[in-house]
A and B are shown apart, each in its own frame.
Chain A
Amino acid sequence: MSDGTLYDKVWERHKVEELPDGRDQLFVGLHLIHEVTSPQAFGMLRERDLEVAFPERTVATTDHVVPTVSDERERPLADDQAETMLSELERNVSEAGVRFFGLGDDRQGITHVVAPEQGLTRPGMTVACGDSHTSTHGALGAVGVGIGTSQIRDVLSTGCIAAEKRDVRRIEVTGSLDGWTSAKDLILTLIRRLGVDGGVGHVYEYGGPAVRALDVEGRLALCNMSIEGGARAGYVQPDETTYDYLRGKPFAPEGEAFAAAREEWDAVRSDADATYDDVVTVDADDLEPVVTWGTNPAQAVGVTEPVPEPSSLPEDEREAARTAQAHTGVTPGEPVAGTAVDVVFLGTCTNGRVSDFRRAAAVLEGRGPDETGAVGDGDPVHEVADGVRAVAVPGSETVRERLEAGGVADTFRAAGFDWRQAGCSMCLAMNGDELVGDELCVSSSNRNYVGRQGSTDARTVLASPATATASAVRGVVTDPREVTE
């Protein structure tokens, strides 16, 4: 069993009781809710005549079903079902006295983008949300877990979840990411190596020089896809980078309170002599941009590397690989680079933050990866290729407004991107943004499952925002290094 890790310390702090079945009752420091998985839970509360126990620890926003086209966001929404879901959420949060960043609020957006950027997620917290990508919040040294609706009912009515402690796997990333290679390429590499079920029963602690060097938005992308590797939670130790990020955020403590909080945050870090159940070391040197070739996130490869022959894979992966390759239409032995692209989608809780769009804009402006600070003050030198539908959906309205103010949004518009308002959008295609027919989409999202982006014949290539943007420019899957060097 692990000992002295951040996970152990957070668990101990939040443990209320041991339950008769052996699980621990854990207090939830931050409960995030949205319109898709919470209405049923509020319904159960009404059925049982229970009230919300800790409304001040719950925060609501709306993301999954909201339209991203500005003039479709007027209420009532054209989609009756989506309108019902929003109305239901509004009624629930109003009755329970829960803070709500609804449609029209300039803080509205994807839960996992909104909570960090508002300073709601802080080191040492437990975070729960009825969404599997709650692992994202680990980027700030919190322990975030995705839960189902019955567990949302638990959190609403008791402030707690019943949970069993997991093993802690330290993932030590040596070397450094450089050039266009980003946190997204790193997490796809980790999932490729450890498998989509490699993290079952584990929480991932990401560390080592390559992780330390990531900014918080990179760490958010890294922790976000822990769940794609089967780990329900993943986290990075809080450090100066974390504190610099939190300072000045709307809900972060200020002044003396910040200094006091900082001591608490330091104390929650894993001890130097912490015990881990498992340690995996991965080298980030010489990684190249990564893309997926199949229908799960582990089916990934360097963008210029050949797609594996199914027969070269472990026996229990071969049939799935053949089926996946038949679906995506890639050719084993050939790289994914060069595959014709119909759609490019930028956004989501994985890569829908300011730095993601700045890197994408740098590609459009023909700048190098280290020149993202300068984007937004010039015209794009590249445009979206003819026949490609390119859609950019900021992860939150806060992100959108910052990019509007900095001129970056203009770069996207001038290059031919459809620049939208915040929501989950084409990540899971609940809001009308979707692929049709057998379209191939290079997507900065997190899941390439069959049917995930709408049409069951459509194909998803997961990639970083830079790779997706380079692909939009060339009309074929493209290594971003080719477009900017």
Chain B
Amino acid sequence: MSLPERGSAVRRVAGTAVPLPGDDVDTDQIVPARFLKAVTFDEMGEYVFYDERAAADGDHPFDDPAYQGARILVVGDNFGCGSSREHAPQALLRWGVRGIVGVSFAEIFADNCSSLGVPTVTTDRETVDDLRGFVRSNPDAGIEIDVVDERVVYDGREVPVGIDDSARAALVDGQWDTTTMMRANLDAARETAAELPYTDTKPGGEP
């Protein structure tokens, strides 16, 4: 499955889902540090939840045949806390995840997801628990994250979800890759820099 293409609008993510139990899942769990010794992200999909999957000996949602091909990940509170490693969302993306529903997300993780065109949407714990239960009972059921209308659709229900206004706008407009947009303001950035008290060149005062 190809990765989201730069400049493409992400209005909705539809597909089957995979439920992940627990809260405060940190990015060390998502990709252990020893797999960060690579100068590209290409192989990261192989390392997603590596140690937990090894410990579970096949009994991990990411190894469950029922959830293979899932595009939506359902998580608890404070998902993606800890290290800023983009390897974590890159690994989830390369495994197949295209959108995440959770109670809450750590900020750096959510930013990294936005930079990759992966929506992270939030809802209350009750809904997350209900959604996880529904997915466990109906692993083949189609779920939809509707970014435009800020809702998750499953089991004949439409549940409102939260998403950062700016993340939503960036995804819907296909402007989630911010480099081009900010590069257009390079002259303005140079002007801002010139006005800062510490960027003029003076001996000893500069990096």
Binding site for B on A (CB under 8 A): 13-17, 19-23, 25, 27, 29-30, 36-37, 39-40, 43, 48, 50, 53-54, 56-59, 64-65, 79, 81-82, 84-85, 88, 99, 120, 122, 124-125, 130-132, 134, 146-151, 153-154, 157-160, 162, 164, 196-197, 200-201, 227-228, 230, 232, 250-254, 257, 260-261, 264, 296, 316, 320, 428-430, 447, 449-452, 456
Contact = CB atoms under 8 A, between A and B. Distances in A.
A154 B32 contact: no
Give me the 10 closest cross-chain CB pairs, A-B, nearest first. Answer: A148-B86, A150-B115, A148-B112, A197-B78, A21-B169, A81-B37, A146-B84, A253-B205, A39-B39, A132-B84
Given A39-B39, A132-B84, A320 B205 contact: no
A201 B40 CA distance: 30
B107 A150 contact: no
Contacts of A125: 198
Contacts of B125: 316
A84 B166 CA distance: 37
Most chain B beta-carbon contacts within 10 A, residue among A197, A201, A232, A450: A197
B97 interface: no
A160 B38 contact: no
A339 to B, nearest CB: 23
Contact of B84 (A120, A130, A456): A130
Contacts of B112: 148-151
Contacts of B157: none
Contacts of A253: 202, 204-205
B55 interface: yes
Interface residues of B, number: 68
B29 interface: yes
Interface stretch (B11-19, B131-139, B188-196): B188-196
Contact of B40 (A40, A58, A99, A157): A40
Contacts of A230: 78, 81, 106-107
B26 interface: yes
Contact of B188 (A17, A54, A56): A17
Contacts of A430: 33-34, 36-37
Contacts of A53: 186, 189
Contacts of B169: 20-22
A120 B207 contact: yes
B51 A157 contact: no
B106 A197 contact: yes
Nearest to A122: B198
A449 B26 contact: yes
A153 B183 CA distance: 11
Contact of B108 (A54, A59, A132, A158): A132
Contacts of B170: 21, 23
25 contacts: A14-B196, A15-B192, A19-B178, A21-B169, A21-B170, A22-B169, A30-B207, A53-B189, A57-B193, A57-B207, A79-B37, A130-B86, A150-B177, A151-B112, A160-B189, A230-B78, A232-B108, A257-B205, A261-B197, A296-B24, A320-B22, A429-B33, A430-B33, A447-B26, A456-B55
Contacts of A320: 22-24
A153 to B, nearest CB: 6
Given A157-B183, A197-B77, A82 B198 contact: no
Contacts of A130: 84, 86
Contacts of A81: 37-38
A27 B205 contact: no
Contacts of B65: none
Given A16-B189, A37-B86, A261 B164 contact: no
Most chain A beta-carbon contacts within 10 A, residue among B34, B51, B170, B198: B198
Contacts of A16: 182, 185, 188-189, 192
Contacts of B89: 148
A148 B189 contact: no
Given A19-B182, A197-B104, A27 B192 contact: yes
B179 A29 contact: no
B92 to A, nearest CB: 13
Contacts of B202: 253, 257
B204 A197 contact: no
Given A164-B166, A429-B34, A20 B173 contact: yes
Contacts of B183: 50, 157-158
Nearest to A455: B51
A160 B183 CA distance: 9
Nearest to B36: A36
B97 to A, nearest CB: 16
Contacts of B37: 36, 65, 79, 81-82, 85, 430
A149 B87 CA distance: 8
B24 A451 contact: no
Contact of A162 (B105, B178, B196): B178
